[in-house]
Structure 1
Amino acid sequence: MRIIGIVLATALIAGCGGAATTASTEDEGSSQTANRAMEGVEIEARLPTDVRRVSIVVRDMEKSLEFYRDALGMEINYDTVVELSGVNLPVGEPGSKARLILLNGNDPYMGWVGLLHPFEPPLEGVDEPYATRLAPGTAFMVVNTDDAEKACEAAAKIDGVTMTGPTRLQVYPGRDGRPDINVRGCNVFDPNGVAVEINQLLD
């Protein structure tokens, strides 16, 4: 399963142009579909900011990898243990250890997902239920894949994932009178309670 691009919605939009411009010949069909969804977005000059990745403080690294690596088809490109300051990044105690994994989709630079798991000592509250309603300040991630049915089905089988409804067709109006944008997918909460929309852009 191949990830076309990743968007952190509500506040962030990641990697749309990069995913299209770095696609190989074998990805041409997917790139053309993505380009149709972006019709009407005109960027006349390079902007000063790239949204590189979203990083998630995770409850359970293995369950998180089941979701992002196995169900969504992302690839690990970095896996290490880091020491936390507990200050600049306000998580964990000063000097505590955490495992940091970075995963990428098709773009080699943008639209990545980072998983940070403090484990020595572990964080409190990892066994508490997570919220399953969005509220002000909540972000959600949108992931484009080439097989939403397969990805949604795989996600539903992971312990800790909450499906908010069945896979369905979503139709968005095209920009400036262009044809509608047809998307098939589902919405879930990942094993950490992060809201994720799994989408497939249709012709």
Structure 2
Amino acid sequence: MRITIAFAALALAACSSFGERPQIATVSPGVEKPSEKLPTDIRRVTMIVRDMENSLKLYRDVMGLKVNYDAVLPMSGVALPAGEPGAKARLVLLNGNDPFIGWIGLMEWLDPRLPDPGPYPKRMGIGGHVIVTQTQDVDRRCAEAASIPGVTVTGPPRDQSYPGRNGAPPIKVRGCNFFDPDGTLIELNQLIG
């Protein structure tokens, strides 16, 4: 499964196939490969979670991402402005098919724990974000995601079509949408047609 951030989903695919890294992702129709290497890749998004093991049930077990880093770290409370200086937090990094970009980081404060923020919003707003993912067996994975405690499905599996870029044919996907157990909206889709 290739993970990309929603606002740069197809642009990231173009960037990941450019440069010295292995060419795993492909350029999508209507997205031009940069004529020269861009100055920035989006490596990962790291999300603060309430319960690491429950989050791993979704991201590792259902979505099929690979855990490649799992450590407890001392936190300064400065560079990442959360928690108290000296707190301990567990950081787990997961990746899809690309070894360099599009990773997911999950971080749980262990000691002392962060205060529970209460229920997360069930609607998007300013500052919200969507993570768009791609898989080959979307119906099964959508059903499994719905069974994880705390997951809220906002759109069941369905076929959708988006206008193509720069005159390319429409982008057709089958997908579902859901909030993860901590309020991040996920679009899980599969290219069709």
Alignment equivalent of 2:40, drawn from 43, 49, 60: 49
Alignment equivalent of 1:9, drawn from 6, 17, 24: 6
Mapping for residues 7-156 of structure 1, pairs under 5 Å: 7-10=4-7, 12-13=8-9, 15-17=12-14, 18=16, 22-23=23-24, 35=27, 38-42=28-32, 43-125=34-116, 128-156=118-146
The change in CA–CA distance for 1:183 and 1:129 in structure 2 (over 3 A counts) is same
Which stretch of the first structure deviates more once superposed, 171-180 or 139-148? 171-180
- Cα-to-partner distance string for 1:58-113 (whole Å, 9 max, x where unaligned): 01101100010011000000010101111110111100000000000000111000
SS at match of 1:176: coil
Which stretch of the first structure deviates more once superposed, 128-137 or 171-180? 171-180
Q: Is the 8 A contact 1:15 1:107 kept in 2?
A: no
Distance in 1 between residues matched to 2:113 and 2:131, nearest whole Å: 25
- Cα-to-partner distance string for 1:142-191 (whole Å, 9 max, x where unaligned): 00111111110110000000000211111011123322111000000001
SS at match of 2:155: coil
Cα RMSD, aligned residues only:
1.8
- Cα-to-partner distance string for 1:32-59 (whole Å, 9 max, x where unaligned): xx64xx1121121110000000000001
Identity between Structure 1 and Structure 2 (%): 50
Q: Is the 8 A contact 1:6 1:15 kept in 2?
A: no
Distance in 2 between residues matched to 1:180 and 1:53, nearest whole Å: 28
Write 1 or 2 for the structure with the bigger share of helix: 1
Distance in 2 between residues matched to 1:199 and 1:19, nearest whole Å: 21
- Following superposition, the deviation at residue 7 of structure 1 comes to 2.1
In the alignment, structure 2 segments of 5+ residues that lack a partner are none
Calculate the TM-score normalised by the size of structure 2. Answer: 0.91
Distance in 2 between residues matched to 1:110 and 1:79, nearest whole Å: 18
- Following superposition, the deviation at residue 15 of structure 1 comes to 3.8
Calculate the TM-score normalised by the size of structure 1. Answer: 0.86
SS at match of 1:166: strand
In the alignment, structure 1 segments of 5+ residues that lack a partner are 24-30
